[in-house]
Amino acid sequence: MEAFGREYFEHCAIFDFDQRPEIKSAFQVSKEPRRIIQELTMYCDVPIIPGKTLIVFDEIQECEEALNSLKYFYEQSPEYHIIAAGSLLGVAVKKRHMAVPVGKVTTMRMFPITFKEFLRSCDTRIFDFIENLTEPRHLPEVVLNKLKTYYRQYMISGGMPEAVNAMLENQGMLAVDKILQSILDLYELDFAKYADSRDIPRIHAIWHSLPSQLGKENRKFIYKVIRTGARSKDYEDALLWLEDAGVIYRINNISKPALPLKAYEKTDAFKVYACDCGLLRRLAHLPASAILDSASNYTEFKGALAENAILQSLMPILDDITPCYWTSDNKAEVEFVIQWQDEIIPIEVKAENNISGRSITVYNDKYHPENRIRFSFLNLHYNCGMLSCPSPLAEWFGKWIQ
């Protein structure tokens, strides 16, 4: 937000309600925008000029009056440009029963930095080459090898901005891990701050069970993995909290792949992934060296991390339609099934070059989809409805589907 303000406005005025709680007093007398602006000028070093200053309300969940004031800025003083953000804003609003100015505020869902953005920052030549690729043809080996290298780096850092910066600035893997661990520690504090007291230990338990849940050959979420005797009714609220917080993605099984996918979800069978592959790697204490070494043997978890990274690439481009997964009598499983425009597309995810398995073939024989996708480290290719796509290029798949 600060970078955006500095690039597109003459001034950027940042007000952090957590760091400087005294700012809250400007909103507690009345919601009249011009009076609020007059008081806010005393808390910043830059002028607040309509159309020339971007006003940033950070950690706005700490001041309900500021959140409510956005309605009056919209109605009475639209000449002021305001961005508001907050840690776990959705769950904070729900817990504190805060009133949100619906219809007066444009809500933007934020995701971790994607590999596409990562690539654009670290190698503009390769990025431009992929951007200009209009058909699914074999990539030159030099391009494919560089993509693999960058993608492994991305799987180590994930998409948390500070961790990405550390990776791109070559600060070293220890620095990246230190940043990721710091983020995980802050998550733990947020669990205690924004969750109901009875749910806090359950949220911790679910969160820390993710590596073992995903490390199984069958990645279906099993409550007994959390602890012996655990039941769904005891952990459902905690699971919903993590989902509402954007910390996890819940991927439901489907009875059949048809439009709309939502109508065929089976809510009692699902998989849970982390919001970020870098955080998942650190949560599992998987060393960066295991990812950098393609021969490293971390078996099932290699596949889990590959799936998590692909899901992370898909979520920002699927228009809020969460993927599902498909199984057939416990004999075949397609990792993701997505609703892409008016088409249902099965997606198989393979770790690096290993493409063994018949699940996508079983699915194809049963449903005859127009298109299928396999993500792996093999070269780009399209043949008879099957798009074989390098995992680093997951965000570009849409322009190569026939």
Q: Rg of the Cα trace of the chain? A: 23
Contacts of residue 50, defined as CB under 8 A and 6 or more positions apart, other chains included, come to: 77, 79, 80
Contacts of residue 109, defined as CB under 8 A and 6 or more positions apart, other chains included, come to: 320
Percent above pLDDT 70 for the chain: 98
Question: What pLDDT score does 319 carry?
Answer: 84
Residues 236, 315: Cα–Cα separation, whole Å: 23
Please name the helix (run of DSSP H) or strand (run of DSSP E) that holds residue 332, with its range, or none: strand 332-340
Residues 252, 249: Cα–Cα separation, whole Å: 10
Among candidate residues 100, 37, 87, 39, the one with its CA nearest the CA of residue 60: 87
Six-digit token pair at 136? 């699914």
Q: How does pLDDT run across 71-95, given as a tens digit for each residue?
A: 999 999 999 999 999 877 778 777 6
Beta strands across the sheet bearing 372-376: 265-274, 248-254, 324-328, 332-340, 343-349, 372-376, 386-390, 381-383
Domain extents in the chain: 2-96, 115-399
Q: How does pLDDT run across 259-288, given as a tens digit for each residue?
A: 999 999 999 999 999 999 999 999 999 999
Q: Find the mean pLDDT for residues 369-374.
A: 97
Six-digit token pair at 332? 């075949």
Question: What pLDDT score does 320 carry?
Answer: 85
3-class SS shares of the chain: helix, strand, coil, % to 5:
50, 15, 35
Six-digit token pair at 379? 């070269």
> E strands, 171-305, where?
248-254, 265-274
Contacts of residue 46, defined as CB under 8 A and 6 or more positions apart, other chains included, come to: 11, 12, 13, 53
Residues 99, 165: Cα–Cα separation, whole Å: 36
Question: What pLDDT score does 97 carry?
Answer: 65
Q: With the CA atoms of 363, 365, 368 and 372 taken in that order, what torsion angle do they form, in degrees rounded to the nearest 10? A: 50
Q: Cis bond leading into 260, ω under 30°?
A: yes
Q: How does pLDDT run across 182-224, given as a tens digit for each residue?
A: 999 999 998 998 899 999 999 999 999 999 999 998 899 999 9
Question: What pLDDT score does 231 carry?
Answer: 92
Instruction: Check: CB of residue 179 under 8 Å from CB of residue 160.
Output: yes
CA distances (Å), origin 238, targets 43, 195, 233, 244, 319: 39, 8, 10, 10, 26
Question: What pLDDT score does 296 carry?
Answer: 67
Q: Find the mean pLDDT for residues 134-141.
A: 96
Phi and psi (nearest 5°) for 401?
A: -80, 130
295 pLDDT exceeds 70?
A: no
